[in-house]
Amino acid sequence: FPIVSITGFIIGLVLVMQSEPVFIRFGASDYLPGATALSIVRELAPVITALIFAGRVSSGIGAELGSMRVTEQIDAMEVSAINPFKYLVVTRVIATTMILPILTIYVIFLSIAGGFVALTLSQGMNLIYYKNAVVSSVEFGDLIPAIAKTFVFGYIVGIVGCYKGYIADGGTEGVGKASTTAVVLASLIILLFDTVLVKISLMIWPM
């Protein structure tokens, strides 16, 4: 949570700091709050939050289930007629799928706040003006696809972490490998799916 909070604030801060000279050069500084807010909402916040989430959660799930697999706890559940998939996988996938959209909304607000701080320090930006510029630029069709795809990202994080942990073998070395590969695979799949989901969202909700 602290990592996500700090990252979210810095995303907005740095994005505005990098974009401001370019907007000023082209005489479009009035569009800076809205343009950066759109970038944050539609792409930066969902993807970066998902990648951080994958790094923390996928590895944790992979290590946890991997440890249960190599210590034969999962085998013991199967022998006891308990469905390990239902108790160990389904619950974790549902949790990751539901939590990531909430985290993303939190990061969006923090990033927009970071952008306001950057503009306040450089231009003495008025809060009311900044809020109106952001609200008038970010529409319903921008927010819905951005949040919708985080459900997909959350599902990917959960299912990849569970899969790599569930099939782990080779003792403690296998647990470490499951944890590492879960992060790499989840991050890669998130980026690939993002490309497809962006195209779909632009077809349904064009900018």
- Per residue in 17-28, pLDDT (tens digit) is 888 888 888 887
What average pLDDT does the structure give for the chain? 86
Question: Per residue in 159-177, pLDDT tens?
Answer: 998 888 887 777 777 788 8
For the chain, what are the domain ranges?
A: 2-204
Question: Per residue in 64-104, pLDDT tens?
Answer: 888 888 887 777 877 887 777 888 888 889 999 999 999 99
User: What pLDDT is attached to residue 173?
Assistant: 78
User: What pLDDT is attached to residue 207?
Assistant: 63
| Residue 110 pLDDT grade (very low, low, confident, very high; cuts 50, 70, 90) | very high
Q: Which residues of 61-98 are buried (b: 16+ CB within 10 A; e: fewer)?
A: bbbbbbbbbbeeebeebeeeeeebeeebbeebbeebbe
